[in-house]
Amino acid sequence: MNIQIRKFYYGDIPEETGGNSTSIKTTQESGWPLWEIFIRSKQGLDHKHAGSLHAADAQMAIENARDVYTRRQEGVSIWVVESKYIHATNPDDAEMFYEPAADKVYRHPTFYDLPDEVKHM
Amino acid sequence: MSPIINQTLQLADTCLILGQRNSEWCAHGPILEQDIAITNITLDLIGQARHFYQYAAELISKSENKTITEDALAYLRTERAFKNWLICELPNEDWAHTVLRQFFFSSFQLLLFEELEKNSDSQLSAIATKSIKEIKYHIKWSSEWVIRLGDGTEESNNRINKALQILWPYTGEFFMPADYEIISVGPLQEKWLLSIKEIFDEAGLTMPENIFMQSGGKSGIHTEHLGFILSELQYLQRAYPGAEW
Amino acid sequence: MSIHELEKIFQDKIDKEIKIEPKDWMPEAYRKTNIRQISQHAHSEIVGMLPEGNWISRAPSLKRKAILIAKVQDEAGHGLYLYSAAETLGSSREQMIDDLHSGKAKYSSIFNYPTLTWADMGAVGWLVDGAAILNQVMLCRTSYGPYARAMVRICKEESFHQRQGFESLLVLSKGTKEQRDMCQDAINRWWWPSLMMFGPKDSESTNSDQSIKWKIKRKTNDELRQQFVDMIAEQVKLLGMTLPDPHLKWNESRKHYDFGEINWEEFWNVVKGNGPCNKQRLEARIKAHEEGAWVREAALAYSSKKQSRSNAKVA
Ligand SMILES: [Fe+2]
Ligand SMILES: [Fe+2]
Ligand SMILES: [Fe+2]
């Protein structure tokens, strides 16, 4: 057997290695848009990003989120937003955005030394 | 068997057979999100079927003084004993057929279960209460799909109209009473038609008129499809009698 | 910044266990490797629905039917989470699905074996999901953030899969003679293919360890396989069944089980498309996708009609 053996992981099989090719029509269709899903896991908590999914419209996105992301009672409220409307900071700006906060230690309660006798503060 | 047992079995069989049909979509749906959605409905239906079978088993065990299980009722009764509504056993044609059947089915199921909820039998009433929450979601999901397909593309409109031709003759059975039924179904028809019409108007679909209605399921006279469903469904219990799984 | 510097910053992050997020700079090869691995993992979940979906209509009790449906449905969810993770790297789901259907992208070969009896449902849950879980637990710490998060969600759901499989075999193992035979037969057929799920031996891999360096993968094939053998060799005793390997033996000095040689020829044959069900699996996926095309189109058409109607109302 003259096969070049390569490392192959679960869900990571090199493309060059064999395979059966069935002829198929490749789809020209434009798929359903992508939505980001935010779920409130219980009353009193924030909505938290759960993941994303595809849906034809907002109503369907909410229902799909219900079916996909709350099958085990993970939520009591759902927000959806089409992924293209998410705006985010650029990782290149991380230094100027987030590092200036690093030396403002006086914003944190632990900055202040108080005598032990002071309770409840 | 008492009317209440027969009624319970009818509801159990009905939920099971539609659950069995819908489960054929699992791993074969038109898109992952909807594969998951229809499968949630399937799981609800099988859950409802189990509640009814368990209750029927309890009643039968009591009246016949032997132990009957939910599985004995689902797996060891034959075609003529099954009481499911005919519409459940029709083969899945396509997505349009599935969503329209679900819409007809769930819209009737809601009206029926609202009556069942008022019944003096506390068990049946409790099952109805629990199921109604699920059914309301099934109606929402399926009616939205009916609208989408009716008002979508030419092809989807054609397909849902074709499904309508196939399914409509099986909706009359909902309202034809069987001699054992403890709920009077006839009076529910008007309300059902209204709820269908509301969605059909939005979907651009027309309700067929003067169509001959098929019936028989409730009293065990089925289409030819049921035998095949049962032979698959019951195969292991039949091949290994008495085994536990 | 030069590519070289960017690469250094990138590798520093990885070394410090800082996750890579979608908008971060990453080497093209890292992006590609992740897309390939995540999408193939997704395909494995989706194709993996078929061998088990196969038995839904015949499940022997209502309880087992509900469990099996829920399990197969979970796998659809797993595929969905993973496709979404891959989409953050700029690959669309349509593209990935097309690659699966054309045979360009692969999925785990295990799903090209047939499920012949009910006991296979138990064996698949116990052995196949069991093997997958070892990979997946490791992947919860993979370096690419969206992949790691998808894996965390998946692992939470996955533990029920293995447990229900084992429990279902446990019932068979205490059942009639026919059920016990069915149970042993399923274990015999699924054991070796499950071992193959971990891939070729480390010693025979010519690929560099880039995936380990990038912390996409954190354990080698052989490490994971050994972990699996050690685990299953003990569990099988509780079933009163055996594993079909005469060389399986506890090695006191290694503190591990020794086991026999895998049939690598069979392994490569299945990877290359000659497994018992390669063709059927792919055809089933293609059929579902093609028959779903009009449904997906209709939903889009309706949503744009609705949109333009509400725009018209506003105007
Ligand atoms: Fe899996
Ligand atoms: Fe999975
Ligand atoms: Fe699984």
Tell me how far the alpha carbon of residue C155 lies from the centroid of ligand 3, in angstroms.
9
Number of domains in chain A: 1
Q: For the residues B139-147, what does the mean pLDDT come to?
A: 98
Q: Is C128 on the interface with B (CB under 8 A)?
A: no
Residues A52, C87 contacting (CB under 8 angstroms): yes
Q: How far does CA C170 lie from the centroid of its chain?
A: 24
Residues C218, C142 contacting (CB under 8 angstroms): yes
β-pair type (C249-251, A77-82): unpaired
* Predicted local confidence at residue A9, as pLDDT: 41
- DSSP letter for B78, please: -
pLDDT at position B112 over 60: yes
At residue C251, what is the residue type? N
Nearest to A64 among B37, B140, B148 (CB): B37
Q: Give the separation between CA C250 and CA C45, rounded to whole angstroms.
A: 33
Interface of B with C in 109-168 (CB under 8 A): 147-149, 151-153, 155-156, 159
Interface of C with B in 142-181 (CB under 8 A): 168, 171-172, 175-176, 178-179
Band the pLDDT of B104: cuts 50, 70, 90. Answer: very high
Residue B36 corresponds to which tokens in the numbers above? Answer: 């998951």
Nearest to B53 among C58, C62, C294 (CB): C62
ipTM, two decimals, is 0.98
Give the minimum alpha-carbon distance from B158 to chain C in angstroms, rounded to a whole number. Answer: 11
Domain ranges in chain B are: 3-239
Q: Which residue of C has its CA nearest to A18?
A: C272
Give the dihedral sign, CA B114/B115/B118/B121.
negative
Across C172-194, b (16+ Cβ under 10 Å) vs e yields: bbebeeebbebbbbbbebbbbbb
Nearest to A8 among C77, C94, C200 (CB): C200
Q: Which helix (H) or strand (E) holds C257?
A: strand C256-258
pLDDT at position A5 over 80: no
Which ligand is closest to the CA of C110, given by its number? Answer: 1
* Summary mean pLDDT of chain B: 98
Give the minimum alpha-carbon distance from A105 to chain B in angstroms, rounded to a whole number. Answer: 47
Residue C158 corresponds to which tokens in the numbers above? Answer: 């996955």
* Predicted local confidence at residue C278, as pLDDT: 94
* Predicted local confidence at residue A6, as pLDDT: 35
SS (H, E, C) chain A: CCCCCCCCECCECCCCCCCCCCCCCCCCCCCCCEEEEEEECCCCCCEEEEEEEECCCHHHHHHHHHHHHCCCCCCCEEEEEEHHHCCCCCHHHHHHHHHHHCCCHHHCHHHCCCCCCCCCC
Q: Give the separation between CA C233 and CA C126, rounded to whole angstroms.
A: 12
Nearest to A54 among B31, B144, B148 (CB): B31
Note down the domain range covering A74. 30-107
Residues B79, B222 contacting (CB under 8 angstroms): yes
The set of chains that have 3 or more CB pairs under 8 A with B is A, C
* Predicted local confidence at residue C205, as pLDDT: 64
Interface of B with C in 183-222 (CB under 8 A): none
Which of C201, C54, C220 has the alpha carbon at shortest distance from C124? Answer: C54
Domain at A37, CATH number: 3.10.20.520
Specify the residue for token string 């057997």.
Answer: A1
User: Which architecture, in CATH terms, is B3-239?
Assistant: Up-down Bundle (1.20)
Q: How far does CA B93 lie from the centroid of its chain?
A: 16
pLDDT along chain C (315 residues), means of 10: 91 95 94 94 97 98 98 98 96 96 94 97 98 93 96 93 97 98 98 95 70 84 96 98 98 98 93 92 97 98 94 82
Band the pLDDT of A92: cuts 50, 70, 90. Answer: confident
* Predicted local confidence at residue C159, as pLDDT: 86
Q: Which residue of C has its CA nearest to B244?
A: C175
Tell me how far the alpha carbon of residue B10 lies from the centroid of ligand 3, in angstroms.
35
Residue C190 corresponds to which tokens in the numbers above? Answer: 């699924």
Residues C11, C25 contacting (CB under 8 angstroms): no
Nearest to B36 among A32, A60, A68 (CB): A68
Chain C interface, best mutation among A2, A10, A59, by max C CB count within 10 A: A10
pLDDT digits (tens, 9 = 90+) for A11-70: 444 444 433 334 444 445 568 999 999 999 999 999 999 999 999 999 999 999 999 999
Domain-located, residue A89: yes
| Other Cβ atoms within 10 Å of B93 Cβ, number | 15
* Predicted local confidence at residue A119, as pLDDT: 86
* Predicted local confidence at residue A19, as pLDDT: 37
Domain-located, residue A56: yes
Which of B189, B202, B208 has the alpha carbon at shortest distance from B144? Answer: B202
Q: How far does CA B146 lie from the centroid of its chain?
A: 18
The set of chains that have 3 or more CB pairs under 8 A with C is A, B
